[in-house]
């Protein structure tokens, strides 16, 4: 198996999670002799097995999150795995006394900066739940890219007003955290109402 032929057959980045590319690579590797091809076939077999497990788990997670967080899933930019991460990391929205408390927990509440020439400016907290923060970031970035989304409109408004890209993105995250909190709370209240026994 020459280096040139290997480069030509190398799969595109992030493509080996699809059956089409897995099968194409497997067919080609089966025609190649030598130890390197043997090792590549073994590695590919591992990738195929792990991909199957991941897809199965993702399907189960999706089914569960559609049951417990339908309102959250209606939010643009919030996919099933992102919603599942938010639900898991929040651990019941009812435990937060307010959406501001939720924002602090997620690390998206703005903190004033008063040193040097930064007086009057704000930054996001570097503390908080980083997994929850990352999930909110995914939603924010997705909305900013989506034509017609509230997040994109708000981002563009802030940029027009002179905010930097980073500052505008922070503001979008903060606004999204408010929406996420209320949707989590709505979903939680709906679930608890359905599980409460009927009055005698």
- pLDDT digit string (tens) for 49-73? 999 999 999 999 999 999 999 999 9
- What average pLDDT does the segment 153-165 reach? 95
Higher pLDDT, 87 or 16: 87
Indicate whether 31 pLDDT > 90. no
| pTM for this model (two decimals) | 0.76
The contacts of residue 3 (CB under 8 Å, 6+ apart) are none
Angle between helices 150-160 and 130-145 (to 10 degrees): 80
Please give the Cα distance from 111 to 130 (Å, whole number). 16
Q: By the 8 A CB rule, do 72 and 86 touch?
A: yes
Q: Rounded to 10 degrees, what is the CA torsion of 131, 189, 62, 173?
A: -40
What confidence category does residue 112 fall into, taking pLDDT thresholds of 50, 70 and 90? low
Mean pLDDT to the nearest integer, 150-178: 94
Q: What is the pLDDT of residue 9?
A: 62
Q: What residue spans define the domains of the chain?
A: 3-62, 69-195
């Amino acid at each position: 198996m020459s280096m040139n032929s290997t480069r030509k057959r190398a799969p595109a980045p992030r493509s080996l999670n699809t059956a089409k590319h897995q099968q194409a690579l497997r067919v080609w590797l089966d025609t190649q002799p030598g130890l390197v091809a043997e090792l590549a076939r073994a590695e590919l077999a591992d990738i195929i097995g792990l991909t199957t497990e991941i897809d199965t788990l993702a399907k189960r997670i999706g089914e569960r999150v559609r049951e417990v967080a339908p309102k959250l899933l209606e939010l643009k930019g919030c996919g099933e795995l992102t919603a599942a991460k938010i639900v898991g990391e929040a651990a019941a929205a009812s435990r937060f006394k307010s959406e501001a408390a939720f924002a602090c927990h997620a690390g998206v509440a703005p903190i004033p900066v008063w040193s040097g020439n930064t007086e009057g400016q704000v930054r996001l907290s570097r503390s908080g739940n980083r997994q929850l923060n990352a999930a909110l970031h995914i939603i924010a970035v997705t909305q900013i890219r989506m034509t017609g989304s509230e997040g994109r409109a708000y981002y563009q408004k802030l940029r027009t007003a002179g905010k930097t890209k980073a500052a505008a993105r922070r503001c979008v995250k903060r606004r999204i955290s408010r929406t996420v909190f209320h949707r989590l709370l709505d979903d939680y209240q709906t679930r608890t109402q359905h599980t409460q026994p009927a009055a005698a």
